[in-house]
Amino acid sequence: MCGIVGYLGAREAAPILLEGLRHLEYRGYDSAGIAVVANDQLHLFRRVGKVKNLAESLNGSLPKATIGIAHTRWATHGVPSESNAHPHTDCTRSLALIHNGIIENHASLRTILERGGHRFCSATDTEVLVHLIEEHLRSADDLETAVRRALAQVEGTYGIAVISTHAPGTLIVARKGSPLVIGIGRGEYICASDPTALAGATRQVIYLSDGEMAVISANGLVIKNHDNIEIDKDVSELDLELETIERCGYPHFMLKEIYEQPDTIHDALRGRLLECDGRANLDGLREVMPRILASRRIILTGCGTSWHAGLIGRYMIEQYARLPVEVEYASEFRYRDPMLDERDVVFCISQSGETADTIAAMRESLNRGALGLGICNVVGSTLARESDAGVYLHAGPEIGVASTKAFTSQLSVLALITLALARERGLTKEQGKTIIRELKSLPEKVSHILEHSEVIQQYAREFQDAENFLYLGRGYGFPAALEGALKLKEISYIHAEGYPAAEMKHGPIALIDRDMPVVVIAPQDKTYEKIIGNIEEVRARNGRVVVVANEDDPWIHTLSDYVIRIPKTLDMLHPILAMIPLQLLAYYIAVLRGCNVDQPRNLAKSVTVE
Ligand code: G6P
């Protein structure tokens, strides 16, 4: 999704802005642009494609400036093109503005502005805002007032940064619904839509809340709230090392993140297991635990991969804690007038903590009196700040658009929540200790799978030309199949579907032939015999089956030429292990097909618009 960077300080702005944009590339975008004010003039460059194109096209032609803004755009209104790329300017080219979010009333505002003589150069909703500020500058005393008045007319969401030749030493940023963070360095400020852009630059940050605006100048930083009253904000410490957002020798971030999973699972569990007591210790939930235990049901919500984690979480919590759980897409939940009150608990699951629908689901839950909890990775994200309480994943930045390590950390955290609840609801100490033992062995088992990835590479070569894939599983294996299929389609553009294995007979079986590989998740659990039956059904129709089976399964090789073996664990933790080969299979196939694995076409890392 779109990315914002702004700079004001003593150093040359352009290299810092471009470096910030490079750190935001992982979010997915289709064009990029930069604007600086130098010698009382605005200088603007925009390019379709990568930040690299933009940097090359500048080629020293940008005058030295110490204030500027830069943007990566992910098209919503208007195709990716130079004229639709940000920054946008007003009629007199004295203002430059970058924007994340969507201005919902842009059409009506545009009509009014065009009638008033404003000339538009793009098909974007954003351009309305810069003309609106221009309009208000006619009567306002200063840029800040004009920006404030313009924003008051806007319906929708925004994170913006504005510079102007009228106030050449002022950078204004504001937020409503789209994140904005201000990094404070020595005599300089770097603003961004995502703290990742600040890595290596500063650790001192202020997160703007909705309705707040910051005016930054050589005199310092002034933050005002929605009512135009100056406020004090806490400065937070950003825990982000530069090397954690670099590839460290891996060809792609996605592969690096897949290989980080022994550590990230360990980090999700660290300090949270009370071994001798067979319990989980989740500080973030301690105060709200009585309310969760007294609730009538738990709702797990999220989008994409995080929604899949919720599906597995439901199986875990219902199996062990015997509390009723519902799972719903955040986008559906927020709009369907859900029956929800103070007796309910809603866990919003989100790697980024910035997904627009998930945040809206959290707000809806809180408005209706439910307990709103977050399971998220990004510290200080909107979800983390707005929820009643929650649990962090501690997985470190996830840069690859396709979520990998965040997913297995979400499952690890959901297992901890399950253990914490179950021990209050009748699970014995010994049973608790068994879960802990298995949880603790996960990092080593994941390492073991990663060490034997050659077989997966070999299968990837075999199946790289397939046009369709089917993924099947039962019980815990069903949501794992959905996630396996999602990984493949996201990065390789192969059409892939996940199904509960028993449902195959109700439709997908009609599609099976030699050209459609079927990936079957087949642990030796209570549905083992049934899933073997499903494999036979595929074979009987000449289908080719890739089986993810247990290490010591003695029969499976008689049923398939393509067997990926993984260590045994508890049923509830099996998806964590099964996911590793499925991520690798998707990765290797996508690489063989020449796809851009880290930034797949049309996808965004964090979907901050509806
Ligand atoms: C996007 C990403 C997915 C992610 C989903 C939810 O679609 O491409 O990888 O699963 O958003 O993101 P969240 O940050 O809320 O987990």
Under the banding of pLDDT at 50, 70 and 90, the label for residue 523 is very high
- Using the predicted structure, report yes or no on whether residue 239 has a pLDDT greater than 80: no
Q: How confident is the model at residue 509 (pLDDT cuts 50, 70, 90)?
A: confident
Q: What is the pTM of this model?
A: 0.82
240 pLDDT exceeds 80?
no
The rounded distance, in Å, linking the Cα atoms of 86 and 103 is 15
Mean pLDDT of 552-571: 94
Which long-range contacts (C-beta less than 8 Å, at least 24 apart) are formed by 280-287? 280/416, 280/417, 280/419, 280/420, 280/423, 280/436, 281/420, 282/391, 282/416, 282/417, 282/420, 284/389, 284/390, 284/391, 284/392, 285/373, 285/389, 285/390, 285/391, 285/417, 285/420, 287/389
- Alpha-carbon gap, residue 517 to 378, rounded angstroms: 36
How close is the Cα of 605 to the center of ligand 1, in Å? 6
Whether the CB of 606 sits within 6 Å of ligand 1: yes
Instruction: Indicate if the pLDDT at residue 499 is higher than 70.
Output: yes
Q: Which of 383, 392, 403 to mutate to test the pocket of ligand 1 (most atoms within 8 A of CB)?
A: 403
- pLDDT digit string, tens, across residues 128-142: 999 999 999 999 989
Between 463 and 250, the higher pLDDT residue: 463
301 ligand 1 Cβ < 6 A: no
For 17-44, the pLDDT digits (tens) are: 999 999 988 777 889 999 999 999 999 9
Q: Which residues pair with 177 in a beta bridge?
A: 158
Q: Does ligand 1 lie within 6 Å of residue 1's CB atom?
A: no
Averaged pLDDT for residues 141-162: 95
CB of residue 72 inside a 6 A radius of ligand 1: no
Residue 242: predicted pLDDT: 67
- Whether 2 is catalytic is yes
The sign one gets for the Cα dihedral 56, 60, 61, 65 is positive
Give the model's confidence band at 381: pLDDT under 50 very low, under 70 low, under 90 confident, else very high: confident
Angstrom CA distances, 88 to 42, 95, 287, stand at 11, 8, 47
Question: In this predicted structure, what is the pLDDT of residue 199?
Answer: 83
Which residue's alpha carbon is at the smallest distance from atom 15 of ligand 1? 350
- Give the per-residue pLDDT at 243: 65
Cα–Cα distance for residue pair 261/544, rounded to 1 Å: 29
- Centre of ligand 1 to C-alpha 606, Å, is 6
List of residues 6+ apart from 175 with CB closer than 8 A? 158, 159, 160, 208, 209, 210, 211, 212, 213
Q: Which of 50, 256, 489, 605 is catalytic?
A: 605
- 410 CA to centre of ligand 1 in angstroms: 12
3-class SS at 68? strand
Question: Which tens digit of pLDDT belongs to each residue from 421-477?
Answer: 999 999 999 999 999 999 999 999 999 999 999 999 999 999 999 999 999 999 999
Q: For ligand 1, what atom is nearest to the CA of residue 490? A: 8
> Does ligand 1 lie within 6 Å of residue 508's CB atom?
no
Cα separation, 450 vs 577, whole angstroms: 10
Average pLDDT estimate for 333-359: 93
401 Cβ below 6 A of ligand 1 = yes
Strands (E), 385-505: 389-392, 468-473, 495-500
Please determine, for residue 11, whether its predicted confidence score (pLDDT) is greater than 90.
Answer: yes
pLDDT of residue 609: 74
Tokens describing residue 512: 């099976």
Q: Is 605 an active-site residue?
A: yes
Helix (H) or strand (E) holding 491: helix 477-492
Does position 606 have pLDDT exceeding 80, yes or no? no
